Amino acid sequence: MGERKLVAAKRHPRTKKLNAGLVAAHERRVLFAKEYLIEPNGTQAAIKAGYSPKTAYSKANQLLKHVEVRAILDASHAKAAAKLDVTRETILAELAKIGFSNPMDYGSIKDGHFDFDLSTSTRDHMAAVQELKTSTKTIGTGKSAVLERHTTLKLSNKREALVDLGRAIGLFKDDGGDGTPVTFIIQNLHVDGAKAHGRAQAERGAGDRGEEFVDPARTTAHLR
């Protein structure tokens, strides 16, 4: 009997050490999850959680698959989505606004020229706008001075939105293409209160410029 008690006493410190190790591992996983929620970079989150920088990348991949870490991340994401009233449908709707946007939503073609006009643009149309800038400049002096107002409207990336939308509804199984971004820019010039003809430009990467306007999703165009 005495021998058994002696054996148990010898094992006890090892058990305490093992339990301490399990607690430490748990705390590091929790810390990793918290850091990942702040900045979704697995490698950096692992380093900040105390893992070695040399193995941080591979460790992060392991941790992101860990049941405990996934539970923390999923719970946090669900809480944020509920608070913001974000659902799969609302995200898809916003992607659709970008993906199906068209320069014609922001003006019209008159006498072969694009006439920039936001008066008929709706809130849904403006949801696709990435940037809207207006600058003014006075040209000349005295009575001959005129005020020039230059407005630039840049649409969000249609291709990215369409690819994301297609993936979300199961249309695309691969990466969707070469990743070259498509950017739409619509510019307009107002001189002394009179609306001048606008200019529509669609740029695909470093594509050619000055082509005839055929398809804004695939060509670059200058309409003057």
As a whole number of angstroms, the distance between CA 60 and CA 55 comes to: 8
- Report the pLDDT averaged over residues 180-200: 44
Q: How many CB atoms lie within 10 A of CB 42?
A: 20
- Report the pLDDT averaged over residues 153-179: 78
As a whole number of angstroms, the distance between CA 91 and CA 85 comes to: 11
Q: Which residues pair with 77 in a beta bridge?
A: none
Confidence at residue 222, expressed as pLDDT on a 0 to 100 scale: 33
Domain 2-84 classification at class level: mainly alpha
Band (pLDDT 50/70/90 cuts) for residue 14 is low
Q: Is the pLDDT of residue 176 over 50?
A: no
Q: In which residue are the tokens 């008929």 written?
A: 120
Where exactly are the structural domains of the chain?
2-84, 93-204
Over residues 19-72, the pLDDT tens digits come to 666 678 889 999 999 999 998 899 999 999 999 999 999 999 999 999 999 999
| Secondary structure, 3-state, the chain | CHHHHHHHHHHHHHHHHHHHHHHHHHHHHHHHHHHHHHCCCHHHHHHHCCCCCCCHHHHHHHHCCCHHHHHHHHHHHHHHHHHHCCCHHHHHHHHHHHHCCCHHHHEEEECCEEEECCCCCCHHHHCCEEEEEEEEEEECCHHHCEEEEEEEEEECCHHHHHHHHHHHCCCCCCCCCCCCCEEEEEEEEEECCEECCCEEEEEECCCCCCECCCCCCCCCECCC
Q: Give the predicted TM-score (pTM) of the model.
A: 0.49
Over residues 98-149, the pLDDT tens digits come to 999 998 999 889 888 888 888 889 999 999 999 999 898 888 888 888 888 8
Band (pLDDT 50/70/90 cuts) for residue 182 is very low
The C-alpha angle with vertex 129 and arms to 124 and 132, in degrees rounded to 5, equals: 125
Evaluate the CA torsion angle 59, 175, 181, 108 in order and state its sign.
negative
- Per-residue tokens: 18: 């093992």
